[in-house]
Structure 1
Amino acid sequence: MNLEHLLYIVEVAKYRSLSIAAQNLHVTQSGISQSITSLEKELGLKIFNRSRGHGAIPTDEGRIILKQAYEVLRKVEEIKETANSFSPTEVEELKVSSAPGMTTFLVKAIAAFRHDYPRANVEVSEKWAPAVIGDVRQHKTDIGLITYSTNWNINMDGIAFEALLEGKPKVYVSKHSPLAFLSTITPHDIFDQTLVTYNSESMQCFVQDFFNEYKPLKILFTANNMDGVLQAIVEGLAITFAPDFLMKNYPPVIKGDIIPVDLVNHRPVNISIGLVRSEVKHLSTFANKYIHFLKSEIIKN
C-alpha cells in the first residue's frame, strides 16, 4: 500500500467513476483499475462494487477504508504544510472562485490579509455560482464565494456550504418614483413597472419565481455588471429586485438616489452570501487564515 493507492480510491469515490478520476489525476483508467485491484487483494476485501451502469460504488467495508484514506491524505498535506513553513522564501498561494458581485468582499479581505502576510498570493476568478462549485469540487480552486437562495436548486454533493451573511430581496426604485414614498411594496404595486435585472443565479431565480406566481413584468434589459442596473434605476427607467447586502454599499443607494423598499405579501425568500469548500480536501492553515479575514469583512457589511 502506498499514497498513490489512497489517492486513487479517494478520487474514484468522489465521482464514482474511474474514467473521471483518471482524467483528473492525469493517469490511465486501466492504471487506476489495476491499482485498486492490487489494493483490494492486499487488504483482502472489496473497496468498490464496479459496474458499467452504476460506476464504482463503495462497499460497506470500503466506506470505512475510504474514511481512513481521507484522514491519511489530510495528514500528508499537513506535513507538507509544516515543511513549507520552515522555508522563509516560500510564497503562500490561494485560489478563490467567486460569483459576480462578491469580488468586493474578496478584495477587501486581501487588502487586510496582506498587512499580516505580505508574501501572500491570492488568485481570484469570477464565475457563475455553478462553475464556482464545480471548481471547488474538482479542486481547481481552494474555496468559493457565492450567493445562495432558498428557491435555487443546485447540486451540492461533496460541497460544504457555510452561510456568512443572511439577507432578503428588496425592491429598488428611483427617489423620484411614487414607489419611493411607500413604506412597503406589494407585488400588485409593481405590475405596471419595467424591470431591469442583474444577471446572477439567485436573483434570476427570484425574478422567474415572481413571474410564475404573479405575471411577467416588462424587462428593460439584463446586465452582467451593476453599473447599468444602477443608472437605469436612477434615471427612473426601471426598478429592480436585489439582495439588501449586495446593494447597500453602492454610492447611488448611500446618497439616496436609489431607495430600497421592503417587498411584502410575497412568500419569504432568504438569500445568503456563502462560503463553499470541498468536504474532502484539507485546507491549509494559510487558507483558513484568509477565510478568517474574509468573514470579518463580510460581517462588517
Structure 2
Amino acid sequence: MNIDQIQYVVEVAKTKSITTASNNLHVTQSAISQSISNLETELGIKLFTRSRNGAVPTPEGKNIILKMLDVISSLEEIKEEANNQNGITVGELRIAAIPIGMEILINTISNFKKDYPNVQIQISEKGSGDILNDLHQNKVDIGLIGLNENMDKKNAGLIFTKIWEGHIVVFVGKNSPLSSFKKVPAKELLKYPFVLYNEEYVNEFVDHFNQSIGKIDIWFKTNNTSALSRALKDNLAISAGYDLSFIGLPNNEKHELSLLEIEDFVQDSKSVGWIQKETKSNSLISKEFINRYITEFQKRNF
C-alpha cells in the first residue's frame, strides 16, 4: 500500500467515478483502476462495486475508506505544519455556511486573505444537513451551522465550537402591518403566508408550530436568500429564522426588515457555531480562521 493508492481510493470514493477522479488527479484511468485493483488484492477486500454508472464503495470498503480519509487529512496537516515552520502559510480552506451573519464572514475572509494571501478559500452557502454531509465526505473543511442536541448525537467524530445560542423569531418587511410590534402572538401568525429558508432548524420550527399552534401557510421554501428578502420587502409574506440572522446584515437591509419575538410559543434554544472533523481540528489554517471569525463576531454591537 502506498500514498498514491490511498489518494486514488479517496478521490474515487468522493466522485464515485474513476473517470472524474482521473481528471481531478491528472492520472490516467487505467493507472487508477489498476492501482485500486492491486490494493484490493493486497487487502483481500473489494473496495468498490464498479459499473457503467460509476464506482460505489462496498459495505466492507466503507470503513477502510474512512480510515484512508483520516490518512489524507493527517498528510495535509503535516504539509501545513511544515509550511508554517518555514514561515510560509499556504493551503486551501473550504468553507460552507448557513446564511447567517454573512457580512461578518465576508469581512473575516477579507482580513484573513490580507495576512495569508497564499491560502486559497472556497465558500458555499448551504443548509446545516448538507454541510454535515459534506464534512463527512471531506468536501469541506469547516462549516458554520445551526446545531441541536439530536444532530449533535448523530455526528460523532465532529467538533463543534459554539458562537451563539438563540431561538427562532419572525421577520417582516417594514410595510407589513406587524412591523410596528416587538412581539406577536403565535396564533396571529396563522393569518400570514410564510417564505422560508430550506434549513433543518427552520423545518423543525415549522413542525413544532404546526403541532402546538396550528398549520403555517407556507408559500415557498428556498435556498435563495435574495428571493426571501424580496418577498419580505414587497410585503408578500413573512419569514422565520434565527434571531442571529439579523446580526451582520448591512444597515440598509436592517432598515427594511423588522424582527418580532413570538409570544405564547415554547421553543428550545438552538446553537450556531463552527463544526469540523475531529481529525482536522489541529489544522492551523482552520484554527486561525475560526478564531478571527469569533473576534469579528464579538466586535459587533449586539
Q: Determine if the TM-score, normalized by the shorter chain, exceeds 0.5.
A: yes
Distance (whole Å) between structure 2 residues aligned to residue 82 and residue 152 of structure 1: 32
| TM-score (norm: length of structure 2) | 0.69
Match of 1:99 in 2: 98
Tell me whether 1:85 sits opposite 2:61 in the alignment.
Answer: no
Structure 2 residue runs without a partner (length 5+): 22-31, 45-58
Match of 1:204 in 2: 203
1:277 CA drift (Å)? 0.8
Verify the 8 A CA contact 1:174 1:258 in the aligned structure 2. Answer: yes
Structure 1 residue runs without a partner (length 5+): 13-18, 38-53, 59-65
Verify the 8 A CA contact 2:95 2:140 in the aligned structure 1. Answer: yes
Q: Relative to 1, partners in 2 of residues 1:258 and 1:119: Cα closer, same or farther, differing over 3 Å?
A: same
Q: Which has the larger radius of gyration?
A: 1
1:203 CA drift (Å)? 1.4
Verify the 8 A CA contact 2:97 2:143 in the aligned structure 1. Answer: yes
Q: Relative to 1, partners in 2 of residues 1:73 and 1:224: Cα closer, same or farther, differing over 3 Å?
A: closer
Secondary structure at 1:96 match in 2? strand
Verify the 8 A CA contact 1:74 1:282 in the aligned structure 2. Answer: no
Matched to 1:164, the amino acid is I
1:57 CA drift (Å)? 11
Matched to 2:168, the amino acid is P
Distance (whole Å) between structure 1 residues aligned to residue 138 and residue 286 of structure 2: 14
Matched to 2:225, the amino acid is M
Q: Percent identity?
A: 25
Distance (whole Å) between structure 1 residues aligned to residue 104 and residue 90 of structure 2: 23
1:88 CA drift (Å)? 6.4
Match of 2:146 in 1: 147
Distance (whole Å) between structure 2 residues aligned to residue 57 and residue 88 of structure 1: 38
Q: Relative to 1, partners in 2 of residues 1:31 and 1:248: Cα closer, same or farther, differing over 3 Å?
A: same
Q: Which moved more, 1:166-175 or 1:24-33?
A: 24-33
Distance (whole Å) between structure 2 residues aligned to residue 75 and residue 220 of structure 1: 47
Match of 1:234 in 2: 233
Distance (whole Å) between structure 1 residues aligned to residue 158 and residue 123 of structure 2: 19
Matched to 1:179, the amino acid is L
Q: Which moved more, 1:78-87 or 1:220-229?
A: 78-87
Distance (whole Å) between structure 1 residues aligned to residue 81 and residue 150 of structure 2: 43
Secondary structure at 2:220 match in 1? strand
Secondary structure at 1:179 match in 2? coil
Q: Relative to 1, partners in 2 of residues 1:285 and 1:254: Cα closer, same or farther, differing over 3 Å?
A: same
1:299 CA drift (Å)? 3.0
Distance (whole Å) between structure 2 residues aligned to residue 193 and residue 100 of structure 1: 23
Matched to 1:283, the amino acid is N
Verify the 8 A CA contact 1:173 1:240 in the aligned structure 2. Answer: yes
| TM-score (norm: length of structure 1) | 0.69
Task: Give the aligned length.
Answer: 268
Match of 2:259 in 1: 260
Secondary structure at 2:178 match in 1? helix
1:230 CA drift (Å)? 2.6
1:219 CA drift (Å)? 2.5
RMSD of aligned C-alpha atoms? 4.1
Matched to 2:190, the amino acid is F
Secondary structure at 1:145 match in 2? strand
Distance (whole Å) between structure 2 residues aligned to residue 197 and residue 165 of structure 1: 21
